[in-house]
Amino acid sequence: MTKINLAELNIKKAHELLRGGEISARELVDFYLENIKRHDKNIHAYLEVFDDVFEQAEAVDKKIKLGKELPLLAGIPLAVKDLILIKSKKCSAGSKILENFNAPYSAAVIEKLDNQGAVYLGRTNMDEFAMGVSTEYSAFGPTKNPYDLKRVPGGSSGGSAAAVAQQECLAALGSDTGGSIRQPASFCGLVGLKPTYGSVSRRGLIAMASSLDQIGPLTKTVEDAEIIFGAIKGKDPLDSTSVGNPISHKSATKSDFVVGVPKEFFNMEGENKGISEDVIKNTKKAINNLKTRGFKIKEVSIPSLNYVVETYYIIMPAEVSTNLARYDGVKYGLAKKGKTLLEDYLKTRRAGFGDEPRRRILLGNYVLSSGYYDAFYGRARRAVSAMKNDFKKVFSEVDILLSPTTPTSAFKIGEKTGNPVEMYLADIFTCGANLAGLPAISLPNGLSENGLPIGLQFIAPWFEEEKLFETGKVFEKCGLQI
């Protein structure tokens, strides 16, 4: 009998092996737990490995023995970003202020995965309250990139990305506010999906910026991302922003399928300031590979993208300052006592929040303050409206958009922490999809000259994730391999 290489499994293959009795859920879980034991002391992808993992697996094995129907995700070992509530488990959002917070209920996505019988290995490290692009801003220490331990895995879902890349889980959940799934997917050589805003319920996701946050998967393949998205999407009556809106679309296999390349992001012929030569080279190869598969490539213009980072870093901190106001030492989480109520607040927040949340709270309060609201926040909101209109117009000309996921491959730990503006520019290609609420996916697009993964991003019209999956599967077959 041929020995099964569990490191090569995708979700569908693992499902077939479980259903056929060739492996058990317990054996599958044990493989990943051994990898965690072997590697995570160096990677620090996990903040906690749950103590009931084998119990979860054995419940699935029992169903298999009884001949019960086995959903696709039954027994599949997943990691969960430490921002998504699992009932009775700790959920800290990577912050000291919630270090010992136990979730009173499960997030909507967890309820859906529970119905499938998924196994949760543990909660993964992240930038505090999802504020960062490197996972260096975790209150519990940085996560390291499995490709180079001196480099960052991206953020804020860096722990989830590193866990998948290091074979410490089969797939993982993350959240994406300005690129926090796609950017670590790019840095770690994975597939990362940010769904359309509202297609996946945010109930039970600790809020960073409520109009931008979205839960999605980090996986080895496009098909795996599609499977998890299919399981977690849908209308939630307890989340008023969630919707159920399937849309028919033109197949990516049609000969007249057009891929647009925004010149504001990537000028195919001109100067590409801020983008590394490796990223330029690999993106051009990806475009040529798509051409050979019959895709039509068209350079397009989305003028409002010239202001995407500035707009994002006004809207997001404004919402951060509102959402984090609830952490006051009174309702839940860390509590520090002073002589007055105000002193309670000040002591709690001083002890509980790290530098990056403080920076964004201050910025958010500033742009919302009297005398500055219209000059900053009001103008940023108008820019978002213009951006949505620009995207709507360009999608009347093309079926999908293409860009690099990040300007560079993974940077070194500590390289950008002294310059927040330089750190923020890592979101230049990703945060536009969040501001407009569009679905986007990052795919592995080869390696840099020093052996680091590079990502390629596709952006589709609202609720047309299927275009991302179809195009992504074609690209997997013809694109640069890792």
What are the residue numbers of the active site? 81, 156, 180
Structure tokens belonging to residue 83: 């921002």
AA letter at 458: F
Encode the chain in three state secondary structure: CCCCCHHHCCHHHHHHHHHCCCCCHHHHHHHHHHHHHHHHHHHCCEEEECCCHHHHHHHHHHHHHCCCCCCCCCCCEEEEECCECCCCCECCCCCHHHCCCECCCCCHHHHHHHHHCCEEEEEECCCHHHCCCCCCCCCCCCCCECCECCECCCCCCHHHHHHHHCCCCCEEEEECCCCCCHHHHHHHCCEEEECCCCCECCCCECCCCCCCCCEEEEECCHHHHHHHHHHHECCCCCCCCCCCCCCCCCCCCCCCCEEEEECCCCCCCCCCCCCCHHHHHHHHHHHHHHHHCCCEEEEECCHHHHHHHHHHHHHHHHHHHHHHHHCCCCCCCCCCCCCCHHHHHHHHHHHHCCHHHHHHHHHHHHHHCCCCHHHHHHHHHHHHHHHHHHHHHHCCCCCEEEEECCCCCCCECCCCCCCHHHHHHHHCCCHHHHHHCCCEEEEEEEECCCCCEEEEEEECCCCCHHHHHHHHHHHHHHCCCC
